[in-house]
Structure 1
Amino acid sequence: MSLTHIDEGGRARMVDVGDKPDTDRRATAEGMLLCAPETLAMVREDRAPKGAVLTTAELAGIMAAKRTADLIPLCHPLPLAKVVVLILPDEALPGFRVQADVRTRGATGVEMEALTAVSVACLTLFDMLKAVDRTMVIDGIRVRSKSGGRSGDWQSQ
């Protein structure tokens, strides 16, 4: 298998997708922020010092997905049709499960946009809660599924 972002001379290059047909593309990603049970309770009870933690982090994730090409070298800027970021409190972790669902119609996939959305949502949670919990850990960020394009559909186990 060869790397598509490296040319014959070993230099980084943007992949030419100009001849690829536009298809419906979708990717989902997930991650989590682990925290102290007291921090989770504080957010659930709307007592966080910085306000609407979950709403702010979800919005940050959406905004980040839209800016992925500005953040990741060699990513193509894509017209996103849909970005949904959902943050769910989970007592079992304890912490928050973060999910992103991204869709477009184009010549390249949206896995990076979904991963960026989850990453920035987790970072925003961390930023908004770091004053009350120094033990937080961001973990498990990964692509859950993708569809569309030449390589077809894929789903993690």
Structure 2
Amino acid sequence: MARPRPLEFEKKKIVAENRRARFDYFLETFYEAGIALTGTEVKSLRFGEGSIAESYAEVKDGEVSLINANIPEFSHGNRFNHEPKRPRRLLLHEREIAKIATGIGREGMTLIPLAVYFNGRGRAKVELALAKGKKLHDKRATQQERDWKRDQQRLMRERG
């Protein structure tokens, strides 16, 4: 019998995080995927370098790829160094890829990376989310809600 998946993924060392994603998108379904990396890419990530701020993922020919993620060249990697913005293959089960493909097929849905991290076993992972873009008025509502929660906390501390 298969073990149930944890709701929160086990993140030991977060390398890169897309902090703007929660503000710009309504996040619906979360996935954890492995990344097919070369040796110098892993070394760069272990040094804490890398960015997924402008990146996204796409499904093509039954495979999911991480596009536009920047992992800078390793400083001590000679001729075996990698290309910083190359597309990287993500490792998912076929069922998950099928679910993602149908989700992206819906209008306005996209697959965005939220974080790149190393799990407890030392494997590089990406947390992905199926998301729908927010309109300007939705972003304003999110900002108002955040401000109100901050004021609530301040009032509770003062009256205490």
- Give the TM-score taking structure 2 as reference length: 0.27
> Greater RCO between the two (CA within 8 Å, min separation 6)?
1
Structure number with bigger Rg: 2
TM-score normalised to structure 1 length: 0.28
